[in-house]
Chains A and B, each alone.
Chain A
Amino acid sequence: AQSVTQPDIHITVSEGASLELRCNYSYGATPYLFWYVQSPGQGLQLLLKYFSGDTLVQGIKGFEAEFKRSQSSFNLRKPSVHWSDAAEYFCAVGARDSNYQLIWGAGTKLIIKP
């Protein structure tokens, strides 16, 4: 069955520290992988995406993610977090043959300590 797993419900990091949010997927077709961010009271904003080519993708706000096919992972990273990064982060997977309908992870809530 197709699924996306984000094993960490909450992550707390200090401002200025590095961040890695984990995402594992199970998908039969060639997946398109996405990270979205949802700030409180806001919609879902695309951070970055991957579907082919260089397995390290750069996104907005200084985020990057690395696709590792052997581990079925697409982890999100940022070298130094800012207080404004506090939000919920969602990993999602889609495929062209299903009209890109997205299957979502449960989300990871990022808490920034001052």
Chain B
Amino acid sequence: EPEVTQTPSHQVTQMGQEVILRCVPISNHLYFYWYRQILGQKVEFLVSFYNNEISEKSEIFDDQFSVERPDGSNFTLKIRSTKLEDSAMYFCASRGQITDTQYFGPGTRLTVL
């Protein structure tokens, strides 16, 4: 069964450093999403992406964040200058053209020191 994959599973970085979180969505999916879950808190929507552009974004998704689909398979989330409060689990999801269901990857745990 096809699945969404994410790398790395765990990333540790110093405050102020840039990080790129990578996702490989399900191959025929066209809609892509990033969510995050700070430890002990709700899962929060960050951004959705379709047709090579952002379709929706939350207030969390400020200028420090960017997304990109650099090739036909990867979907990345970049945080330009990480802050301590960016420490969270980041989930990627993808959705097909005719379905309402998002399929999630296993997540990347980001720890900012």
- Contacts from A to B (Cβ < 8 Å): 32, 34, 36, 42-46, 49, 51, 90, 92, 94, 96, 98-107
List residues of chain B with CB within 8 A of the CB of A42: 106
Taking the nearest CB of chain A, how far is it from the CB of B78, in angstroms? 20
B35 at the interface (CB under 8 A from A): yes
List residues of chain A with CB within 8 A of the CB of B33: 101-102
Does A32 lie within 8 Å of B43, measured CB to CB? no
Taking the nearest CB of chain B, how far is it from the CB of A31, in angstroms? 11
Does more than half of chain B's interface fall in helix, strand or loop, or is it mixed?
A: strand
Does B91 lie within 8 Å of A44, measured CB to CB? yes
Does B45 lie within 8 Å of A107, measured CB to CB? no
- A-B contact list, 28 entries, CB within 8 Å: A34-B101, A42-B106, A43-B4, A43-B104, A43-B105, A43-B106, A43-B107, A44-B43, A44-B91, A44-B93, A44-B104, A49-B101, A51-B100, A90-B43, A92-B43, A94-B100, A99-B31, A99-B50, A99-B56, A100-B48, A100-B95, A101-B33, A101-B48, A101-B56, A102-B33, A102-B35, A102-B45, A102-B102
Does B104 lie within 8 Å of A36, measured CB to CB? yes
- Contacts from B to A (Cβ < 8 Å): 4, 31, 33, 35, 41-45, 48, 50, 55-56, 58, 91, 93, 95, 100-107
Taking the nearest CB of chain B, how far is it from the CB of A36, in angstroms? 7
List residues of chain A with CB within 8 A of the CB of B56: 98-99, 101
Q: A43-B107, A98-B56, A100-B95 are in contact. Are A49 and B42 (CB under 8 A)?
A: no
Most buried by B among A34, A49, A102, A105: A102
Does A101 lie within 8 Å of B106, measured CB to CB? no
Taking the nearest CB of chain A, how far is it from the CB of B94, in angstroms? 11
List residues of chain B with CB within 8 A of the CB of A99: 31, 48, 50, 55-56
Most buried by B among A32, A36, A101, A104: A101
